[in-house]
Amino acid sequence: QQPVQSPQAVILREGEDAVINCSSSKALYSVHWYRQKHGEAPVFLMILLKGGEQKGHDKISASFNEKKQQSSLYLTASQLSYSGTYFCGTTFGNEKLTFGTGTRLTIIP
């Protein structure tokens, strides 16, 4: 039931855009996105609830497609500070969060 993320890793130049996908084999209730920098704890980015709502802040946004059981995280005009590993986490109606396989994002100057 672990969601699958793609790509596994991506390297961008500063200012480029990226999309990270998260797919589930089971109907989703909510999708959570976290970012983890090397040697640190995961930090919450946003949550999307069932309903197809798109959320975002600054230049990071996300969408949730219930029918496809997918969520995508969009990073526009990437900055060096965006580097890290991005995890999606899914719930199926309760508070239990199952994290995806992770996507390592490297931003180079």
Partner 1 sequence: DAGVIQSPRHEVTEMGQEVTLRCKPISGHDYLFWYRQTMMRGLELLIYFNNNVPIDDSGMPEDRFSAKMPNASFSTLKIQPSEPRDSAVYFCASLAGRQGEQFFGPGTRLTVL
> Site residues (CB under 8 A) for partner 1?
2, 30, 32, 40-44, 47, 49, 87, 91, 94-102
Q: What's the min distance (Å) between Cβ of 55 and partner 1?
A: 13
Q: What's the min distance (Å) between Cβ of 97 and partner 1?
A: 7
By the 8 A CB rule, do 96 and 1 touch? no
Residue whose CB is less far from partner 1, 19 or 46: 46
Task: For residue 80, give the 3-state DSSP assignment.
Answer: helix
Residue whose CB is less far from partner 1, 49 or 108: 49
Residue whose CB is less far from partner 1, 58 or 95: 95
By the 8 A CB rule, do 99 and 1 touch? no
First-to-final CA distance of the chain: 37
Q: What's the min distance (Å) between Cβ of 47 and partner 1?
A: 7
Q: What's the min distance (Å) between Cβ of 20 and partner 1?
A: 15
Alpha-carbon gap, residue 86 to 60, rounded angstroms: 12
Residue whose CB is less far from partner 1, 44 or 52: 44
Q: Residues near 107 by Cβ (< 8 Å), separated by ≥ 6?
A: 11, 12, 13, 14, 78, 79, 80, 82, 83
